[in-house]
């Protein structure tokens, strides 16, 4: 007998009768008024409420309105109890959100069959909701794997074999979590924001697919013309994300992915590209991505440069960029994580 039924009726005889009829199959809680019902609900959540309409103080319809206004109670199914079997009353019962109504005096077989049916439907509905959540979760997981796989393929063109995608996503997560733990950027950094940012990180360079191999794989310094062509990858990335994801993904995630891709080469002092944004006009996610991207570019070997060692040298380069290339607060936090980075990478 796992199901709990709250019976709300100002007539003690009706409460006793409901206990007698339903008590063999269900646990019964009783309240003799609307206010008493809400005192019970403060500490308990029944599986079903049987609610009398005509009660002094707070009638059933008023109690139902209060239930529906509360996020904690609104999902509890309600069956109205009433001696008024008119069409108008029946119609109003359903209009205010009841799943059923039962006439008084109670007919035992009718009462117990209505209760059984309601609880069975509620269990079925909850099962369907769980199935939908599980299916949605699987679809999202598949999408994330596809996105990372696509980014890895693009990154492999310059012989990074997708390592840059994995690394930058890891650094972005570390930085965002540390900022949140320190109570920084609290108006923006929450769990959902960090989740979207980490899922957007693999797409930050997706526009490189449109950059010619002769530029992307060039072992030496780029000419000014080649550099201008390379810089276009931020614009290309935004367009690709818009084309591929705008119809199938959540709006906030798509916006995050476009911001990170378009603005992660902007600089704190306003001398970056493609828009020349400055300071906090650069979206927070892009400022975090910028630091993660540069750290990995320095730490790993690239076709145009060897890996920089020791790590102190990389940290010195980042320190020099604090307040010019990078957000000074984010940079300071990242520099303080050197010990953790050493444990992971060295």
- State the Cα torsion 57-63-66-67 to the nearest 10°: 150
pLDDT tens sequence across 294-343: 999 999 887 778 899 999 999 999 999 999 999 999 999 999 999 999 99
Domain borders along the chain are 4-129, 159-345
Question: Class of 4-129 per CATH?
Answer: alpha beta
pLDDT tens sequence across 12-41: 999 999 999 999 999 999 999 999 999 999
- Report the topology of domain 159-345: Hypothetical protein af1432 (1.10.3210)
Q: Which of 227-231, 251-255, 302-306 has the lowest mean pLDDT?
A: 302-306
pLDDT tens sequence across 268-279: 999 999 999 999
pLDDT tens sequence across 115-126: 999 999 888 888
Please state the pTM of the whole predicted model: 0.62
CATH topology of 4-129 equal to that of 159-345?
A: no
Give me the sign of the Cα torsion angle 209, 210, 214, 216. Answer: negative
Question: To the nearest whole number, what is the mean pLDDT of the chain?
Answer: 89
pLDDT tens sequence across 144-171: 666 666 666 666 655 554 588 889 999 9
pLDDT tens sequence across 193-225: 999 999 899 899 988 888 888 888 888 889 999
Can you give the pLDDT at residue 161? Answer: 46
How far apart are alpha carbons 339 and 334 in whole angstroms? 10
């Amino acid at each position: 007998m796992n199901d709990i039924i709250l019976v709300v009726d100002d007539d003690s005889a009706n409460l006793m009768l409901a206990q007698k009829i339903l008590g063999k199959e269900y646990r019964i809680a009783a309240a003799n008024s609307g206010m008493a019902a809400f005192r019970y609900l403060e500490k308990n959540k029944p599986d079903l409420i049987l609610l009398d309409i005509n009660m002094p103080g707070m009638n059933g319809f008023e109690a139902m309105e209060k239930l529906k206004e509360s996020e904690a109670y609104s999902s509890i199914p309600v069956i109205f109890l009433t001696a008024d079997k008119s069409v108008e009353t029946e119609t109003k019962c359903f209009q205010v959100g009841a799943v059923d109504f039962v006439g008084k005096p109670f007919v035992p077989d009718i009462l117990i069959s209505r209760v059984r049916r309601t609880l069975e439907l509620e269990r079925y509905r909850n099962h369907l909701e769980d199935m939908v959540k599980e299916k949605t979760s699987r679809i999202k997981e598949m999408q994330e794997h596809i996105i990372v796989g696509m980014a890895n393929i693009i990154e492999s063109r310059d012989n990074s074999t997708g390592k840059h995608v994995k690394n930058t996503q890891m650094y972005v997560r570390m930085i965002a979590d540390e900022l949140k733990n320190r109570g920084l950027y609290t108006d923006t950094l929450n769990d959902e924001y960090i989740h979207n940012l980490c899922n957007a990180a693999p797409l930050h360079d997706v526009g490189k697919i449109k950059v010619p191999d002769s530029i992307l794989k060039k072992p030496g310094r780029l000419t000014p013309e080649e550099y201008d062509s390379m810089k276009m990858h931020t614009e290309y990335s935004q367009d690709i994300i818009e084309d591929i994801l705008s119809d199938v993904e959540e709006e906030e995630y798509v916006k995050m992915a476009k911001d990170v891709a378009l603005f992660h080469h902007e600089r704190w002092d306003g001398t970056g590209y493609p828009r020349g944004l400055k300071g906090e006009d650069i979206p927070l996610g892009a400022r975090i991505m910028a630091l993660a991207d540069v750290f990995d570019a320095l730490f790993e070997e690239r076709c145009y440069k060897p890996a920089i060692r020791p790590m102190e040298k990389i940290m010195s380069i980042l320190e020099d960029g604090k307040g010019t290339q990078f957000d000074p607060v984010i940079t300071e936090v990242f520099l303080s994580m050197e010990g953790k980075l050493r444990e992971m990478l060295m």
